[in-house]
Amino acid sequence: MDFGNISKNQLLANFYIWSTFVCIILFGIFVFKLIKLKHTSSRFFLAIVLLLITYYISDIFWALGFFNIIPNSDTLIRISRLICYSAVDFIAYYWLLYVDVILNYEIAKKKKKIAAIPLVISLIITFIVTIFFSTTEHSIRGLLSAIAIIFIPFCFVVFVEFRTINKAIKETTRHTKYKFLALSIWPFLIATFSILQIILSKWPVFCFGGIIVVSTYFINDLDSRVSTDPLTNLNNRNMLNIILDSIANKNEYYSIFMIDIDKFKNINDTYGHIEGDNALVLVSGVLNNIAKTYGYFLARYGGDEFIMIAKYNESINEDQIIDDINSQINEINRHLDYNISISAGYSHLNGTDNISDKINDADKMLYKNKSRNEKTSSK
């Protein structure tokens, strides 16, 4: 090819289009990997990646019109911008749902339709502004048009940022705190690349920025999956071992709880394993509430057994924590065809103690209480 006969505009167009095309292929690899993952957060993350692919495909058509490769293409530019801006609306919405699952809140489970209302409003605004106004003209009207399009997605992002940072502040373990702080950085990176894309409109800045950001969070998402129990969405044994290693040999006192569901096998045998899984999820929700209230690290220890760890606090009564757990579980039982009950035990340790021995001490107390509960229920 004789590059001497190609104008600078054509070179920029070729670079923009082919770079975006390569990014689409890379995102296709992410899609192939994500389809295999069944976790709820993975489905939302997959939706974000597919929407980014949609954005980039539309961006190629925008470039064909913008660089005048297809002449007289004002309609093509407007339609491609409409698709791009609409994709941004959906990305903000699915980012809200994705983070909601990570934070163990309820929007993704019970309030998706409510959260979709501002999405629909934003899509209508995007359609009207993109078709009838210009967001690229250098005027007050162009600025107001651009603000109208990004306002609701921006509100989604601010809402998510507030919740994520608030969650990070409340976390007691350093590893989990850093995980949520890292989660809060993603929108700032996207915003930075978006601003650079506006300034350097002839360069595919947002394309490469998207690859960098999504690659980073794709890795973090997989890392989170390694440390998260897929059924209960609690920390798993891998994460527990990290926490135990972090407190080993520290001259600090800790409180350890071991919690076990009573007669869990009977639930599986009588109502089936699906209902057994549901019982595990319900108990996990209760324990998660208790852990947040009292500042405990919580993990699924294995099967129907859970563990909670926190620095020892004289003002916290461990027996009161067990009472609070039972109280919340009794509230759940009002809506079930069977009763769930738990037994719990606790012990105190100094980081220089043998941690396994202290976990066993809590376990011994648990089974002592379980035996007492079984005798009480049989009377």
pLDDT tens figures, 336-379: 888 899 999 999 988 678 888 999 999 999 989 888 877 666 55
pLDDT at 2: 46
Q: Which domains, from first to last, does the chain contain?
A: 3-226 (1.20.1070), 237-378 (3.30.70.270)
What pTM was computed for the model? 0.66
Token pair for residue 42?
A: 């993975």
pLDDT at 3: 45
pLDDT at 213: 78
Q: Which ranges of the chain have pLDDT less than 50?
A: 1-5
334 burial level (CB within 10 Å; 0-12, 13-18, 19+): exposed
Question: Cβ(341)–Cβ(373) under 8 Å?
Answer: yes
Which residues fall within 8 angstroms of residue 197, CB to CB, at 6 or more apart? 203, 205, 206, 209
Which residues fall within 8 angstroms of residue 143, CB to CB, at 6 or more apart? none
To which H or E segment does residue 5 belong?
Answer: none
Tell whether the torsion through CA atoms of 318, 319, 322 and 328 is positive or negative: negative
pLDDT at 1: 45
CA distance 359 to 355: 6
42 burial level (CB within 10 Å; 0-12, 13-18, 19+): buried
CA distance 369 to 343: 6
